[in-house]
């Protein structure tokens, strides 16, 4: 069967890819009393069947991703066999995740992601009728049916990811170092066949200077944080107070909500409290480079927490802002005199900002870095430039002294360009595959139809 998808809809239908392999039955073609084959089982994992329609869904989705499905019968059978193996692996991971009572995926987090996805898809259509017609082409009779499908797929994806993260943290999935031959084969099979140019790339290191408030300003901020804490513990509404007094513009309008986050995202001082705190408890003021935080953890998972906070930032005066700019000038002069970059970085760098980047595409740079580094070259040192503070508070602007450690023009992708990434990606794939082999050895798995 050939699926006709208008060019304008390719991206949309990719997201809609669902049970396209199950066609509606025509009542005129079904004889009374004659059995009708609706679907068939192609494999069994434990007691869970994998259906032919699941394989057809996967093939349809690959087609919408731009891959050309083989027409040769032998090649098509090989593709089906590969897809069945992938579906078996998915089922093994989901089953194991469901057995672990510490791995929880809530309806709220699934629904939140799915709702955004569906809203994005719906915006691609001029009318509700056009949207529903495209859904039917993908095998869904109603938007509600599509939503149920997306909910289940998102739930299974989250279960798999959290199981793998948990097993890595427990040391049950450990990194495997691939050999040079294995990495070269990986490149030739997957990357070496991809045509195209490697984008222009850049890497840099930086020293970020933040204005330091006076001790009197810190004391005043701490006193205010203590006052807000008393109100919260007396029953004041956290979200309303966050909107009223929090100095974090990114979260204040959302009632202080930071959403879900893993370790390594927030400052160490913040994370130490957030990952040790019981849900519902409001912390004492926690000092970080940003100011004083009142933290309330809402929910927890083995590898992440959902929390909200109120930030009280000490006030910075014009004097302290000018001192930060002057210090940045002194650091730049010291670098030009030959003082090692890392020595100055250890002493002066603001720890809430990253120290260096890996090699990234220049298109990933954001202002002000994209403007400053527009014509940058390897080894070039840049005098201090301003890093604007959130909310337009210029007194809290930071100053950056940076050095470009690598700049490469665009060109053909080579093995050397991606060798380190291959080592990491392939090593993780091999470690997960080893874990899958162990799961499969202890589970009834049978392939009925290749």
- Residue 126, SS3? coil
The answer to whether residue 340 sits within a structural domain is yes
Which DSSP symbol is given to 237? -
**d(C-alpha 45, C-alpha 442), whole Å:** 11
293 and 324 inside one domain: no
pLDDT number for residue 84? 94
83, 58 contact by CB (below 8 A):
yes
Q: Does any domain span residue 191?
A: no
Whether the upstream peptide bond of residue 368 has omega within 30° of 0, thus cis, is yes
Q: How many CB atoms lie within 10 A of CB 142?
A: 11
223 and 207 both lie in a single domain = no
pLDDT of 293 reads 97
In a domain, 168, yes or no: no
**What pTM, to 2 d.p., does this model score?**
0.55
Looking at the structure, do residues 41 and 145 belong to the same domain, yes or no? yes
Q: Are residues 90 and 115 in the same domain?
A: yes
**What is the spatial distance between Cα 142 and Cα 91, in angstroms, rounded to a whole number?**
27
- pLDDT per residue rounded down to tens, the chain (450 residues): 333 333 323 333 334 334 443 333 344 434 444 454 567 899 999 999 999 888 887 886 676 566 778 888 898 889 999 999 999 999 999 999 999 888 888 888 888 788 887 887 788 788 888 888 887 876 778 888 888 888 888 899 999 999 999 999 889 999 899 999 999 999 888 765 555 678 899 999 999 999 999 999 999 999 999 999 999 999 999 999 999 999 998 899 999 999 888 888 898 899 999 999 999 999 999 999 889 999 999 998 877 899 999 999 999 999 999 999 999 999 999 999 999 999 999 999 998 889 999 889 999 999 999 999 999 999 999 999 999 987 778 999 999 999 999 999 888 888 888 888 899 999 999 999 999 999 999 999 999 976
Query: In terms of domains, do 386 and 330 share one?
Result: yes
CA atoms within a 13 Å half-sphere pointing along the CA-CB vector of 91: 21
pLDDT confidence of residue 450: 64
User: Among the three residues 263, 284, 312, which one is the final residue of a domain in this structure?
Assistant: 312
Spatial distance between the Cα atoms of 278 and 300, rounded to a whole number of angstroms: 9
Domain shared by 355 and 206, yes or no: yes
CA distances to 222, 263, 324, 387 from 291, rounded to whole Å, are 9, 20, 17, 18
Is there a single domain that holds both residue 139 and residue 59? yes
Same domain as 407, residue 391: yes
pLDDT at 188: 86
| Residue 312, beta-bridge partner list | 292
Q: H helices within 315-407, ranges in order?
A: 318-336, 341-348, 369-372
Q: What is the pLDDT of residue 437?
A: 95
Are 343 and 208 within one domain? yes
Distance CA 413, CA 411 (A): 6
pLDDT of res. 249: 86
Distance CA 384, CA 400 (A): 5
Count of the separate structural domains present in the chain: 3
Return the number of other C-beta atoms located less than 10 Å from residue 399's C-beta.
24
Residue 416 lies in a domain: no
**pLDDT number for residue 18:** 42
**Nearest CA-CA partner of 130 in 19, 1, 16, 21:** 16
Q: Is residue 63 part of a domain?
A: yes
Does some domain include residue 288?
Answer: yes
Same domain, 148 and 51: yes
Same domain, 56 and 27: yes
Tokens of 8: 């304008």
* Residues of the domain holding 366: 201-212+317-411
Q: What is the pLDDT of residue 175?
A: 84
Looking at residue 383, which CATH number applies to its domain? 3.10.50.40
Q: 272 and 149: one domain? A: no
Residue 421: inside a domain, yes or no? no
CATH number at residue 154: 1.10.4030
Give dist(CA 151, CA 205) in Å, integer. Answer: 42
Distance CA 276, CA 279 (A): 10
In a domain, residue 424? The reply is no
């Amino acid at each position: 069967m050939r699926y006709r998808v208008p060019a304008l809809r390719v991206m949309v239908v990719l997201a809609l890819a669902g049970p396209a392999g199950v066609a509606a039955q025509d009542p005129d073609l079904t004889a009374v009393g004659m059995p009708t084959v609706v679907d068939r089982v192609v494999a069994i994992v434990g007691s869970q069947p994998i259906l032919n329609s699941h394989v057809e869904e996967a093939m349809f989705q690959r087609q919408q991703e731009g891959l050309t499905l083989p027409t040769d019968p032998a090649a098509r059978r090989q593709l089906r066999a590969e897809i069945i193996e992938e579906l078996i692996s998915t089922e093994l991971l989901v089953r194991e995740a469901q057995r672990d009572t510490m791995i929880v995926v809530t309806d709220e987090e699934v629904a939140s992601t799915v709702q955004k996805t569906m809203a994005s898809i719906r915006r691609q259509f001029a009318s509700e009728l056009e949207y529903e017609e495209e859904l039917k082409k993908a095998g869904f009779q109603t938007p509600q049916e599509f939503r149920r499908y997306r909910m289940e797929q998102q739930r299974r994806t989250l279960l798999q990811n959290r199981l793998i993260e948990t097993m890595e943290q427990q040391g049950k999935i450990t990194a495997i170092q691939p050999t040079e031959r294995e990495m070269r084969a990986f490149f030739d099979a997957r990357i070496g066949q991809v045509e195209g140019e490697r984008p222009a790339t850049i890497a840099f290191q930086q020293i970020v200077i933040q204005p330091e408030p006076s001790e009197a300003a810190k004391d005043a901020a701490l006193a205010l944080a203590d006052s807000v804490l008393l109100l919260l513990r007396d029953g004041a509404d956290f979200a309303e107070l966050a909107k009223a007094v929090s100095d974090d513009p990114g979260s204040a309008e959302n009632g202080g909500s930071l959403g879900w986050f893993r370790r390594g995202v927030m400052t160490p001082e913040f994370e130490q409290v957030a990952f040790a705190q019981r849900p519902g408890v409001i912390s004492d003021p926690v000092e970080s480079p940003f100011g004083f935080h009142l933290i309330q953890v809402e929910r927890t998972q083995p590898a992440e927490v959902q929390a909200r906070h109120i930030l009280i930032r000490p006030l910075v005066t014009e004097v302290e802002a000018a001192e930060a700019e002057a210090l940045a000038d002194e650091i730049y002069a010291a670098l030009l005199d030959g003082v090692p970059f890392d020595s100055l970085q250890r002493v002066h760098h603001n720890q809430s900002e990253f120290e260096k980047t890996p090699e990234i595409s220049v298109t990933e740079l954001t202002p002000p870095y994209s403007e400053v580094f527009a014509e940058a070259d390897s080894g070039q040192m840049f005098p201090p430039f301003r890093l604007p503070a959130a909310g337009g508070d210029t007194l809290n602007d930071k100053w950056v002294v940076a050095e470009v450690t690598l700049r490469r023009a665009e060109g053909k992708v080579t093995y050397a360009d991606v060798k380190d990434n291959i080592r990491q990606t392939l090593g993780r794939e091999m470690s997960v595959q080893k874990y899958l082999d162990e799961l499969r050895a202890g589970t009834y798995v049978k392939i009925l139809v290749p």
